[in-house]
Chain A
Amino acid sequence: ILNVEQSPQSLHVQEGDSTNFTCSFPSSNFYALHWYRWETAKSPEALFVMTLNGDEKKKGRISATLNTKEGYSYLYIKGSQPEDSATYLCASYQGDSSYKLIFGSGTRLLVRP
């Protein structure tokens, strides 16, 4: 069974704080790691897709790193804003006989003004 774990489950921060979340995945048969942002009443929106060990990607104030050897990825938000409030999902594309995109349960971020 392939499990993708995210921590923390939820996070409350003050506007301006920087924060980070963790996504853990099995390191075997790994192909790619996805990050999505899911705002309430909207559809999940892709942030990053990463494949290489040591990969770092950045989009505005949000960045992500990937360690495929130890099976984890970090998502960082610098200077959180209220509009960053959302659930952040990671998903690992991996498998044995067939590859699947397996989602974690998400980290719910609330940024207080």
Chain B
Amino acid sequence: KAGVTQTPRYLIKTRGQQVTLSCSPISGHRSVSWYQQTPGQGLQFLFEYFSETQRNKGNFPGRFSGRQFSNSRSEMNVSTLELGDSALYLCASSSGLAGANEQFFGPGTRLTVL
């Protein structure tokens, strides 16, 4: 069974630009969650999608948004990039809701904002 895949793996953008990250979950998994990790911080929850609906959202500004498609693939968008958005973005999939089930993480997208 293929694991969680994320594209792209690395990305360099400049301030003010916008970016879209993609996550393909394990086949059959309906939940996709997104996390941000910055140096010195733990994983910060961004949002969770389940069956195309956003279930929960973390404490991030509205510049961070996401969506999930009918095939469970998910995209995350960050508009008007700021330097502080430089981070590792991880997505994770699970068969049921993320809180009650173990999550399988992708390799991450390393975003650098210049």
> What residues make up the interface of A, taking CB atoms closer than 8 Å to B?
31-32, 34, 36, 43-46, 48-49, 51, 89, 91, 93, 95, 98-106
Contacts and interface: CB of A to CB of B under 8 A. Distances in A.
Chain A binding surface SS class: strand
Given A36-B103, A44-B92, A103-B44, 7 more contacts: A44-B103, A44-B105, A45-B105, A51-B100, A93-B100, A98-B56, A103-B42
Contacts of B84: none
Nearest to A45: B105
Given A100-B56, A100-B58, A101-B33, A46 B103 contact: yes
B43 A89 contact: yes
Q: Which of B90, B99, B102 has the most A CB atoms < 10 Å from its CB? A: B99
B99 A99 contact: yes
A93 B98 contact: yes
B16 to A, nearest CB: 29
B94 to A, nearest CB: 9
Given A101-B33, A102-B45, A103-B42, A43 B108 contact: yes
A101 B98 contact: yes
B42 A101 contact: no
